[in-house]
């Protein structure tokens, strides 16, 4: 792992994390392990909000969802670090598990989005192992509602719970659910639901590689994202400069089963 703004980020690539997820689903007991796809927005929010920082620090893995996190990680010594983009992570797990007895549950998006994603998984990824879907209301769920949802997820013998909301809502939602679920993984993947169902356009690959996806999304949704990016981009640069000047460089940690 490599620490960026006090959050340890996964320092390998999507095939490595996909292999680990599939192996644990088939060989290990259910442990409610939390995985996030964390970009600059999440890292800046965690830097400013101690409560949210503790939530992210409790996650089993925080994947570098954007190129800025990857660039900082490489600067700190994680030379093999690659972007683990949430929508790509989701797609590769769904594709790789299509012939395996691994059950998925989708939670997120506006009404009908999760159900549309289930249809996409059948048609595009040949995976019919989506056992349930849920579109949460915009308000915060009560503890009783969280428990009721967890009971449904458990009843369906879910292995991987996918949560597609926005940061920091989705990570807090997953963290609350994990207290009551009996699953292998709870994975937060941001806009993956909207991207794969075609509700929101994705940046072309060259913009993603260049770290310009934020610009594409800003041009696509200026009213919603203008204030966010005007704040996040300069703060991400500032906070990382301060961290580097303070000498907080590369460090590794281990995950059960070996260093990742």
Render 167-234 in DSSP notation, one character per residue: TTHHHHHHHHHTTT---SEEEE-TTHHHHHTTSSPPPPHHHHHTT-HHHHHHHHSHHHHHHHHHHHHH
Report how far apart, in Å, the C-alpha atoms of 254 and of each of 18, 258, 259 are.
17, 6, 4
Residues facing 162 on adjacent strands: 106, 187
For 110-154, how does the pLDDT look when each residue is reduced to its tens digit (9 = 90+)?
889 999 999 999 999 999 999 999 998 888 999 999 999 999 999
Q: How far apart are CA 187 and CA 152, in angstroms?
A: 17
**Is residue 174 within 8 Å of residue 34, measured between CB atoms?**
yes
Task: Return per-residue pLDDT of the chain as tens, 260 residues.
Answer: 999 999 999 999 999 999 999 999 999 999 999 999 999 999 999 999 999 999 999 999 999 999 999 999 999 999 999 999 999 999 999 999 999 999 999 999 888 999 999 999 999 999 999 999 999 888 899 999 999 999 999 999 999 999 999 999 999 999 999 999 999 999 999 989 999 998 887 888 888 878 787 778 778 777 777 877 788 889 999 999 998 887 755 455 555 543 34
Cis amide bond preceding 188, omega within 30: no
- Label the pairing between strands 258-259 and 254-255: antiparallel
The single residue listed with the structure tokens 């691994």 is: 102
| C-beta neighbour count of 205 within 10 angstroms | 9
**Is residue 183 within 8 Å of residue 32, measured between CB atoms?**
yes
Q: How far apart are CA 235 and CA 252, in angstroms?
A: 25
Cα of first residue to Cα of last residue in the chain, in angstroms, is 7
Give me the sign of the Cα torsion angle 251, 58, 202, 193.
positive
Map out the domains of the chain as residue ranges.
2-192+208-249
């Amino acid at each position: 792992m490599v620490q960026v703004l006090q959050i340890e980020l996964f320092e390998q690539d999507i095939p490595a994390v996909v292999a680990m997820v599939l192996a644990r689903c088939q060989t290990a007991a259910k442990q409610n392990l939390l995985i996030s796809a964390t970009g600059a927005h999440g890292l800046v929010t965690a830097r400013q909000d101690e409560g949210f920082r503790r939530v992210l620090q409790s996650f089993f893995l925080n994947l570098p969802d954007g190129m800025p996190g990857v660039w900082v990680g490489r600067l700190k010594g994680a030379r093999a670090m690659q972007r683990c983009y949430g929508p790509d992570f989701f797609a590769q797990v769904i594709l790789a598990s299509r012939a395996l007895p691994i059950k998925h549950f989708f939670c997120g998006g506006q009404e009908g989005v999760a159900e549309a994603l289930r249809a996409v998984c059948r048609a595009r990824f040949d995976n019919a192992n989506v056992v349930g879907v849920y579109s949460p209301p915009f308000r915060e769920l009560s503890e009783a509602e969280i428990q009721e949802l967890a009971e449904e997820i458990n009843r369906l013998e879910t292995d991987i719970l996918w949560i597609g909301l926005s940061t920091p809502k989705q990570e807090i939602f997953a963290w609350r659910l994990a207290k009551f679920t009996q699953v292998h993984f709870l994975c937060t993947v941001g806009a993956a639901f909207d991207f794969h169902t075609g509700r929101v356009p994705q940046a072309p690959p060259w913009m993603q590689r260049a770290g310009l996806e934020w610009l594409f999304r800003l041009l696509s949704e200026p009213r919603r994202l203008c204030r966010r990016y005007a704040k996040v981009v300069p703060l991400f640069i500032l906070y990382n400069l301060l961290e580097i000047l303070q000498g907080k460089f590369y460090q590794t940690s281990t995950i059960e089963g070996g260093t990742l």
